[in-house]
Structure 1
Amino acid sequence: MKILSWNVRGLGRPRTVNRLKNKLRAINPRILFLMETKLSAKRMEKVRLNGGLYLGWNGNALVNLKSFSSFHIDAEIHDNENEEVWRLTGFYGNPDGRKRNESWELIKCSSQDQLRLWVVLGDFNEIFNSFEKKGGRRKSERKMSEFRTALDDYSLSDLGFVGRWYTWERGKFLTSNIRERLDRGVATFDWVNLFPNYQLEHLSHSFSDHCPILLNTISKPQNVPHNHIRHFRFEANWCLDNSFDNLIK
């Protein structure tokens, strides 16, 4: 199953909408989570829209909506491919750094659900470590630590990625260019065990300062032996170990 998450930064212009349609035709996701659409609910179909968030899907019985707010949409996924029910949360971290802890409290409230097969996708508006940012002022170590702690406390691990390193970029010139990995997927150990061949990819983009992220729960290509597949995984916490630099060298 393909799940696309994207901070599109507005869909008010017909040209932007047409570009999005072309992208969706090429990818053909089963579930679509959009952020910062800046559209009214009347202009969306099969949707829960609040604060610019949108969740769409293909298949009437696929999604059971549980809750939503300006910063999240929570749903049960009735997956007929493996006959399991698991949880998907589309997440948008508060862009106001002073209110970022409110976002982690939202994850805390969501974590109290008993369904342990859980994946969270979206724009968290925060990074794990300083190496996930290039250019601009240094990020607050305290805020990055709070982000890591929040995910650890609720048994959510970073899913890694393939493709370009950063998911957000601003500034066309080298002196003013800033890049960060703000968009990601995190999941519980049980969810990862359910989909051991998953792949999360950072896709190219043309009309937003965020790139779309595509989660494919079953990424194994047909007619290709499994042992020929090489997915790169990187655990951000490795960089916190004092021996990491020497080990790489």
Structure 2
Amino acid sequence: METKMKSSRIRRICRQCKFSQELYIEPEGLAGGLALWWQGNISLTILYKSKNVIHAHVESGSLKVPAIISFVYGPPEERDRRVVWDLLRDLAVNIRGSWLLIGDFNDLLSQSEKEGGNPRSMRKILNFQRLLSDCQVMDLEFKGSSFTWCNKRVGTTIRERIDRALGNVEFREEFDHALVFHIEPIGSDHHVLLADCCFCEVKSEKSFRFEASWTLHEDYLEVVKEGWADVRGMVDNKVADLIRRLEACKVRLVK
């Protein structure tokens, strides 16, 4: 994340969030600055670091993790972004295995990723699309708001999707259920990105609904009678007995 403050001021926050490992790139004046925190069950080897990119090899004995992760902060100025994009191209040449790139790229892949204000130059959009093609990475699926940044100005509101996660083919093959969540911001103009590499959607059990059309079926009464009678054992509590009989009827009706 971009900190905009000296590392000495945010080390306390790192401890409060119970992260055991940390890396900082100091800001230049009141702009920039990067902070990367991780837990002790992750082994992170920094391969390259600058004010715009932290490129690391990742290992873990307890978690399934990408081989390489690049944490990206795209410069606001296009001429500076071009330099960083060329750096990513150079890094891509030596990638072996799954590669995840995540962060604030300050760039768009299409006009649909912007709402309000002047349209983004197609030249800039094509340049960013070319970066993904050259690095052989793809935009990862996300859930949440279509935009990740807002200028928060009344009357001239501009919203853009400039924060994203990208993965190469090896990443998509190894983490085929990976999903990115855009979490609503608190005290920031950016959404939080949560990249769940091994997302597993837990589906709740389908609720039982009685279908009125069942009553028109020729076997309806017989099915209900069999269910009502299919209760083994005696129950003194009449409410409990009623619940058991209704449950037996439900099971037979569903079948």
TM-score by length of 1: 0.71
Deviation at 1:187, TM superposition (A): 0.6
Question: Are 1:212 and 2:192 counterparts?
Answer: yes
1:158 aligns with 2:133: no
Q: Does 82-91 or 47-56 show the bigger shift?
A: 82-91
Match of residue 42 from structure 1: 8
- The change in CA–CA distance for 1:224 and 1:80 in structure 2 (over 3 A counts) is farther
Q: For residue 224 of structure 1, report the CA deviation from its aligned partner.
A: 6.7
C-alpha separation between the residues in 1 aligned to 2:141 and 2:96?
A: 22
C-alpha distance in 2 between matches for 1:132 and 1:83: 31
Match of 1:203 among 183, 189, 192: 183
Residue number in structure 1 paired with 2:162: 182
Supply the distance in 2 between the matched residues of 1:57 and 1:116 (Cα, whole angstroms).
21
Could you say which residue in structure 1 is the equivalent of 2:122? 141
**Shift of the alpha carbon at 1:223?**
7.2
Query: Given the alignment of the two structures, is residue 76 of structure 1 paired with residue 42 of structure 2, yes or no?
Result: no
Deviates more, 1:65-74 or 1:91-100: 91-100
SS of match in other structure, 1:186: strand
Q: Which structure has the greater CA radius of gyration?
A: 2
**SS at 1:80's partner residue?**
coil
Structure 1 counterpart of 2:75 = 94
User: d(CA) in 2 for partners of 1:84 and 1:121?
Assistant: 14
Letter in 2 for 1:214: L
SS in 2 for 1:200: strand
SS for the counterpart of 1:219 is: coil
Alignment-mate amino acid for residue 50 of structure 2: S
| Matches of 2:196 and 2:124, distance apart in 1 | 30
Provide closer, same or farther for how the CA distance between residues 41 and 171 of structure 1 changes in structure 2, counting only shifts above 3 A.
Answer: closer
Q: Given that residues 45 and 56 in structure 2 are in contact (C-alpha distance below 8 angstroms), is that contact kept between their aligned partners in structure 1?
A: yes
Tell me the equivalent position of 2:240.
none
Number of matched residues? 190
Q: Deviations over 1:31-67 (max 9, x none)?
A: xxx12x1222334363222231111101155222221
TM-score, normalised to structure 2, is 0.69
- Assess if the C-alpha contact under 8 Å between 1:198 and 1:217 holds in 2: yes
With over 3 angstroms needed to count, the CA separation of the structure-2 counterparts of 1:80 and 1:180, relative to structure 1, is: same
Post-superposition Cα deviations, 1:63-116, rounded to whole Å, max 9, x if no partner, equal 222211000111111033466661001001111123221121121122122323
User: For the aligned residues, what is the CA RMSD?
Assistant: 2.0
Amino acid at match of 1:41: S
Give me the whole-angstrom Cα distance separating, in 1, the residues matched to 2:120 and 2:143.
24
Segment drifting more, 140-149 vs 47-56? 47-56
How far apart are the structure 2 equivalents of 1:42 and 1:197? Answer: 38
Where does the alignment leave 5 or more consecutive residues of structure 1 unmatched? 1-33, 226-249
- Percent identity among equivalent residues? 27
Partner SS state of residue 185, structure 2: coil
In 2, distance between residues paired with 1:77 and 1:224? 34
Which consecutive residues of structure 2, in runs of 5 or more, have no partner in the other structure? 15-20, 28-32, 206-255
- Structure 2 CA distance for aligned equivalents of residues 133 and 84 of structure 1: 32
Say whether the 8 Å CA contact 1:94–1:102 is kept in structure 2: no
- Bigger relative contact order, structure 1 or 2 (CA pairs below 8 A, ≥6 apart): 1
Q: CA deviation at 1:198?
A: 1.2
For residues 161 and 61 of structure 1, do their structure 2 counterparts lie closer, same or farther at Cα, with a shift above 3 Å needed?
Answer: closer
CA contact (8 A) 1:66 1:74 kept: yes
SS in 2 for 1:119: strand
Cα distance in 1 for residues equivalent to 2:192 and 2:65 = 26
Determine the structure 2 residue equivalent to 1:4: none
**Corresponding position of 1:239:** none
1:140-185 Cα offsets, whole Å, 9 max, x none, are 1001100000111110100021111100001342x30000000000
Q: C-alpha distance in 2, partners of 1:206/1:114?
A: 35
Distance in 2 (CA, whole Å) between partners of 1:222 and 1:130 is: 34
